[in-house]
Amino acid sequence: MASIKDVAAEAGVSVATVSRVLNDHPSVSADARARVLAAVGALGYRPNAVARSLRTDQTHTLGLVISDVLNPYFTELARSVEEEARALGYSVIIGNADERPELQDHHVRTLLDRRIDGLLVSPTDGGSPLMLDAARSGTPMVFVDRWIPGLDVPVVRADGRAAVRDLVAHLYGLGHRRLAIIAGPAATTTGSERVDAFREALRAYGLPLPDAYIGQGDFQAASGRRATEEFLDLAEPPEVVFAADNLMALGALDAVRARGLRVPDDIALAAFDDIPWFVHTDPPVTAIAQPTPELGRAAVRAVVDLIEGRPPQSVTLPAALVVRRSCGEPPPMDSAPMDSAPVNVTQRSNP
């Protein structure tokens, strides 16, 4: 593959001049510029990004470590992250942790070895030593969706509290009193937060949340299925199951179907994270929708601010309830898409 030397030789100038042309440095004669450009074209030369990065100590690359690529929520997030990054002149390398802390560490490590300029993470656990080191050692880093408490790292996330309250109001209004939740791993913020929000909302209605109605899931479909089976085996099964993410809701549907039961007649279902398929499931699933693309964009802007020396912003956007038929009583129409006005914008600090 042609190198800058070959271009220089072809154009009859020094490598310095070629470099100057390529980085459009002002002081290059029109003549030299033309000859260099011609040589570049003739040789099909493309600068070696590896060499350039070594010299400049910049890769113009962001690392994105997500918890699970198979989860449509994260895939949508990844897409918006890449889009915004591209607009700002950065590439993105995605690492899929599959909800496994050691895989997450693997990806963080290789990304760091590659000297990415900044890191976007949706942590799978409470923070491995590696992750803590990275955060403290000053790698530009931003948490998205989930975060690790106690670190001075900006967080970009959706706040589901209000939407969960709306959901519980909706369920209460439909006459449901025995509400259960399939939680995510307690080590993740979204895992515990959603349970807390749910518990709090129930309390407002004087409803209990017995331990038996808290299923332990791990954000994967299989765990949703297992938890739902346990609910159904209870002497007094819940009337509603609220899955803390869309994959566990899928697992819940599997479990219900396997028993030959029907949603919502035998048991109602709601989920955190809305996805296009929820419109066409049987029945359409009531869900809490996050402004996912906005989150991705905000997260990118935050890391890039950090990288380029500007003060980064933590951002919290509201999630919204989308009522469908999986909890009973068909509403007249599909709820309107959520709006995404920031509910709360803080300066470089954790909630």
Task: Report the interface residues with DNA, using CB under 7 A.
Answer: 1, 3-5, 12-20, 22-23, 26-29, 31-32, 45-48, 51-52, 54-57
By the rule CB under 8 A, 82 interacts with a second copy: yes
Phi, psi (degrees; rounded to nearest 5) at 5: -65, -45
Structure tokens at 187: 């080590």
Query: How many of the other CB atoms lie within 10 Å of CB of 74?
Result: 26
Using CB under 8 A, pick the residue from 36, 232, 250, 302 that binds a second copy: 250
Interacting residue with a second copy among 17, 32, 62, 72 (CB under 8 A): 72
For a second copy, how many residues bind (rule: CB under 8 A)? 45
Min dist. Cβ of residue 210 to a second copy (A) = 28
The CA distances from residue 197 to 15, 115, 166, 178, in Å, are: 61, 38, 11, 16
Which one of residues 21, 181, 253, 306 is an interface residue with a second copy (CB under 8 A)? Answer: 253
String of DSSP letters for 144-163: ESS--TTS---EEEEE-HHH
**Closer by beta carbon to a second copy, 283 or else 318:** 283
Q: Which does 32 bind (CB under 5 to 8 A by kind): DNA, a second copy, none?
A: DNA
At which residue do the structure tokens 């509603």 appear? 240
Q: Can you tell me the distance from the alpha carbon of 246 to that of 223, in angstroms, rounded to the nearest whole number?
A: 12
Residue 342's region, left for phi above 0, alpha for psi from -120 to 50, else beta, is beta
Q: Within positions 268 to 327, which residues make up the interface with a second copy, using CB under 8 A?
A: 276-277, 279-284
CB of 108 to DNA, least distance (A): 17
Choose the one of a second copy, DNA, none that binds residue 250, judging by a C-beta under 5 to 8 angstroms depending on kind: a second copy
Per rule CB under 8 A, is residue 124 in the interface with a second copy? no
Contact 146, 192 (CB under 8 A): no
Cβ nearer to a second copy, comparing 112 with 261: 112
- Classified as helix, coil or strand, 55 is helix
**Omega of the bond leading into 264 within 30 degrees of 0 (cis):** yes
Q: Which of 49, 186, 204, 345 binds a second copy (CB under 8 A)?
A: 49
Please report whether residue 96 would count as binding a second copy according to CB under 8 A: yes
CB of 99 to a second copy, least distance (A): 12
Gap between the Cα atoms of 153 and 165, Å rounded: 28
The answer to whether 79 and 297 have CB atoms below 8 angstroms apart is no
The correct pick among 34, 50, 204, 234 for binding a second copy (CB under 8 A) is 50
Q: Find, among 253, 264, 281, 104, the residue nearest to 175 by Cα.
A: 264
Q: Residues with Cβ < 8 Å from 85, sequence gap 6 or more?
A: 62, 91, 92, 300, 304
Is 100 a residue that touches a second copy (CB under 8 A)?
A: no
Nearer to DNA, 47 or 126 (CB): 47
Chosen from DNA, a second copy, none, partner binding at 5 (C-beta under 5 to 8 Å by type):
DNA
Q: Is 141 left (phi over 0), alpha (psi -120 to 50) or beta?
A: beta
CB of 58 to DNA, least distance (A): 9
| Residue 346, strand partner residues | 314
- Least Å distance, CB 241 to a second copy, is 14
Residues that bind a second copy (CB under 8 A): 44, 46-51, 53-54, 59, 69-70, 72, 75-76, 78-79, 82, 86, 91, 93-94, 96, 98, 106, 109-110, 112-115, 133, 221, 250, 253-254, 257, 276-277, 279-284
